[in-house]
Amino acid sequence: MEKNSESDVRSAITWDNFDFERFDPDALAGRLGVKWSRDGPEVLAAWVADMDFPVAPAIIERLLDVVQRQDFGYPGPDLDSSVRVAFAERSAERYGFVVDPDLVVITTEVVQAIYAVLMSCTAPDDPVVIVTPAYPPFFAAVRDTGRRTVLCPMAQAATGPVLDTEALRAAVLESGARALLLCNPHNPTGRVFARAELEAVAALAEERDLLVIADEIHADIVFEGSMHVPIASLSQAIAERTVTLSSTSKGFNLAGLRCAVAAFGGRALRDRFDSLPAHVRGSSSVLGMVATLAAWQHGGPWLEAVMEQLSRNREIVRSAVARLAGVRYDQPEGTYLAWLDFAATPIADDPAGWLRENARVALAPGIDFGATGAAHARLNFATPRPILLDLLERIETAYAGIDQR
């Protein structure tokens, strides 16, 4: 990189007020990532859980330093240790979750870690409970590792979806489940499970000797009025049977850099995980680890600002969906995902497919999240407001032409 061009890049990332509306559809359409390249420039993308905002300047600065030094070798142990310690310190400060850095492992990504934990800490044909609707790779991970899937649908309360702890108990007892895959904050519904819900899960796990694989990748994206509680923080007893998975990929928009952590609540689980060959357990790169470290240590102001933007966007979605006859929308307590229920509408059979064809908007099909997701679609609202307003207007205009009889 020439000196002048590097100076130009650096000056562009040192703004005092984060410009979350910097990118327009033309700029996004030129990206190599799957979100905006899959459907072409005529379709507005709101399906994959990537944000369309500029990354925190503190992260870009650190990445540019690595690029300038051409520091693309294998990560050293000091960098590895720094990331593990940073996760532990941040978990304690932000969530009151005490983690031993020696029981934290850096992995490639959360999904890869789920596979590795299932392979090392459960046995073939073991029943594994999944709370549905669920992030699609959960189903694949259980199937691909030769375990048996046990489904536990969430219940629908007046205030939105809730964890049905009685149904969960029944599913565990009837199946003889050995593990539970728990996503909190929940993808796709946006629920942030209350402490009482998690305490019921913890009690069941202790009673039935369940392994809990806690996907907490969306922990940083929680709106005012809710609070993320890591299930492993409830007690030492539940911690010792829990593997907590986290990453900066959602909260700081770094999914493509491939860096995650698996935090084990006890030495026994960590030893079982270590029984897998090191290359199966996964790893990261200098770029991924440096970006993760910068996010956790210096990304706080950016995260606060992005939460304000997401809060405004969430309200925009609420107002727009209220004008769509028959569509149910329970505002998410966390994540930047809107779970839209089209069951009472004429497009219930395939709302995402209909909207892509008729509104030129790409949402995630609800059926991908399990049978309970049928008639739903998931909308990612982590995008500049002009784009969000455009895609919602497209939906409303197309929807207005439907015969509602």
pLDDT tens column, 332-378:
999 999 999 999 999 999 999 999 999 999 999 999 999 999 999 99
Identify whether 254 is part of a domain.
yes
Same domain, 257 and 304: no
Identify whether 321 is part of a domain.
yes
Same domain, 280 and 350: no
Same domain, 240 and 191: yes
End position of a domain, from candidates 232, 267, 297: 297
Residue count (the chain): 405
- What CATH number does the domain containing 338 carry? 3.90.1150.10
Same domain, 183 and 109: yes
**Helix axis angle, 286-298 relative to 57-69, nearest 10°?**
150
Identify whether 168 is part of a domain.
yes
**Sheet arrangement for strand 127-132:** 104-107, 260-264, 242-247, 211-215, 179-183, 127-132, 148-153
Q: For residue 402, what pLDDT band results from cuts at 50, 70 and 90?
A: confident
The pLDDT score that the predictor gives to residue 379 is 98
Average pLDDT over residues 128-157: 97
The pLDDT score that the predictor gives to residue 1 is 32
Q: For residue 17, what pLDDT band results from cuts at 50, 70 and 90?
A: low
Ramachandran angles phi, psi of 213, nearest 5°: -105, 105
The pLDDT score that the predictor gives to residue 7 is 44
- What CATH number does the domain containing 218 carry? 3.40.640.10
End position of a domain, from candidates 278, 297, 316: 297
- Is the per-residue pLDDT at 309 higher than 50? yes
- Is the per-residue pLDDT at 286 higher than 60? yes
Average pLDDT over residues 274-288: 92
The pLDDT score that the predictor gives to residue 403 is 64
Same domain, 91 and 196: yes
Find where tokens 């519904």 sit: 189
Identify whether 405 is part of a domain.
no
Same domain, 101 and 144: yes
Between 179 and 8, the higher pLDDT residue: 179
Same domain, 207 and 325: no
Same domain, 225 and 322: no
**pTM of the model as a whole:** 0.93
Identify whether 24 is part of a domain.
yes
Q: Which two tokens stand for residue 183?
A: 């996503």
Encode pLDDT of 222-276 as tens digits: 999 999 999 999 999 999 999 999 999 999 999 999 999 999 999 999 999 999 9
Q: Which domain holds residue 187?
A: 71-297
End position of a domain, from candidates 297, 328, 362: 297
Number of domains in the chain: 2
Cα–chain center distance at 378: 13
Identify whether 64 is part of a domain.
no
Please classify residue 215 by burial: count the beta carbons closer than 10 Å to its beta carbon, then call 0-12 exposed, 13-18 middle and 19+ buried.
Answer: buried
Identify whether 155 is part of a domain.
yes
Identify whether 152 is part of a domain.
yes
Mean pLDDT of the chain, nearest integer: 94
- Is the per-residue pLDDT at 8 higher than 50? no
Same domain, 149 and 277: yes
In the chain, % of residues over pLDDT 90 = 91
Same domain, 227 and 255: yes
Q: Say if residues 304 and 252 touch (Cβ distance below 8 Å).
A: no
